[in-house]
Amino acid sequence: MPLALYALTAGAFGIGVTEFVIMGLLIDVGKDLGVSISAAGLLISGYAFGVVLGAPLLGIATAKLPKKPLLLALMVVFTLGNAACALAPDYWTLMAARVVTAFAHATFFGVGSVVATSVVAADKKATAIAVMFTGLTAANILGVPFGTWLGQHYGWRSTFWAVTLIGFVALAVIQFLVPRRLPADAATNEDGSSLAVLVRPAVLVGLAVTVLSWIGIFGAFTYIAPLLTEVAGFPETAVSPILLVFGGGLLVGNLLGGKLADKRLTATVIGTLAVLALTLVAMAAAIHQQIAAVIFVGLLGAVGFATVAPLQLWVLGKAGDGGQSLVSSFNIAAFNLGNALGAWLLGLVIDHGPGLAAVPLFAALSPVLALAIATVAIRREQRQALVPMEAAAARC
């Protein structure tokens, strides 16, 4: 694989740590800032909404800019934002800093996806996207457990200082490994002033499927620490090691999803959504037994990230010849809108519904709906593809 892909992976690692590490620190942040677990969970929603807001603002404004300088500028925003998080004196300042940090997220991964697919052969596009997103899986395997441990022993602010340092490292790697001239710079014919591509029915369907699937994934994962401690009965010190299991699942699922999508894209989209829904339903029972809980934490990571490359490539394919960076950025925003809604909706289940133990079961509802929508959309596309073939056969 080209070195540029691994530079993107480094940036993805830094962004992945700052997005996910807060989940292992919800209890610590809540205690220090005097807010409830569900209120601390909204820091995840705030970050996700920052991603959603950043996608249109930065995606449109930067659509025609050269890709390498753009990637570097986005990492600067990310790095300064994490420093602001570390210095935040109260809950709302931390929330604002999280939102600002998140502005870089969607455009970085959106542009990164286009760059990744432009530097590899046509039959390796999903794998290239998966390689970039391996940075997120590495963040969960290494960064999040270490960040959780660091925050528990030296205060949650130390974790954000560590992430700031990661941002500087990612900047250096991108500077040295990403070439100044990229195929994506020459190939793009996007019009940053137009949103027409985003109102195509096929694109809207793809974005909706992404949102719904990740409501379920993040609805469960947001509250993984209290699920493990208050439902499964693990001590708080066990959360960090168990997150390693989740990270291992991410790595396997991410790469497997990319390889399967390169072979049969639509079948992989349907299959991963179906397995995700089944995993969440089974996890509702498994979370009450410690061994089963650990196993299903790993399975959630695997099936959750197995959806990433297929969904990203599926939506990219609906953008046509133009607008790929913009659609790609919006699909990253769709992932994070799902994150935000998942944290909020499952917070309601905790505060006003059946309670914490019911989170995985309720989280399964949205992937079921995503599966239904994707199945209908794919069957419709297949029927439409058959019409010209049937017409040609009739003329013969």
The yes-or-no verdict on residue 342 having pLDDT over 80 is yes
- CA angle 16/181/122 to nearest 5° reads 70
Alpha helices, H only, 191-263:
201-221, 224-226, 239-263
Report pLDDT digits (tens) over 225-258. 899 999 999 998 888 788 888 888 888 998 899 8
At 193, the pLDDT band (50, 70, 90 cuts) reads: very low
- Token pair recorded at residue 79: 């790095």
Report pLDDT digits (tens) over 78-137. 999 999 999 999 999 999 999 988 888 878 888 887 777 777 777 788 888 888 888 877
Question: Which phi and psi angles does 257 have, rounded to 5°?
Answer: -60, -40
Question: Which phi and psi angles does 235 have, rounded to 5°?
Answer: -70, 160
- Token pair recorded at residue 277: 């829904």
- What is the four-CA torsion angle of 203, 205, 211, 217, rounded to 10 degrees? -120
Report pLDDT digits (tens) over 10-42. 888 988 888 878 877 888 888 888 888 778 888
**So what's the pLDDT on residue 247?**
80
Model pTM score: 0.76
Can you tell me the mean pLDDT for 250-270?
Answer: 91
Alpha carbon distance 115, 185 (integer Å): 8
Can you tell me the mean pLDDT for 255-275?
Answer: 92
At 333, the pLDDT band (50, 70, 90 cuts) reads: confident
**So what's the pLDDT on residue 237?**
84
Can you tell me the mean pLDDT for 131-159?
Answer: 84
The yes-or-no verdict on residue 56 having pLDDT over 80 is no
The yes-or-no verdict on residue 186 having pLDDT over 60 is no
| Residue positions counted in the chain | 396
**So what's the pLDDT on residue 369?**
96
**So what's the pLDDT on residue 385?**
67
- What is the four-CA torsion angle of 91, 95, 101, 103, rounded to 10 degrees? -170
Report pLDDT digits (tens) over 352-396. 889 899 999 999 999 999 999 999 998 888 787 665 655 555 555
At 1, the pLDDT band (50, 70, 90 cuts) reads: low
Report pLDDT digits (tens) over 298-318. 999 999 989 988 998 888 888
Q: Which percentage of the chain shows pLDDT scores above 70? A: 91
Indicate the residue type of 136: L
Q: Mean pLDDT across the chain, nearest whole number?
A: 84
Can you tell me the mean pLDDT for 339-357?
Answer: 87
- CA angle 301/267/284 to nearest 5° reads 35
Say if CB 134 and CB 254 are below 8 A apart.
Answer: yes
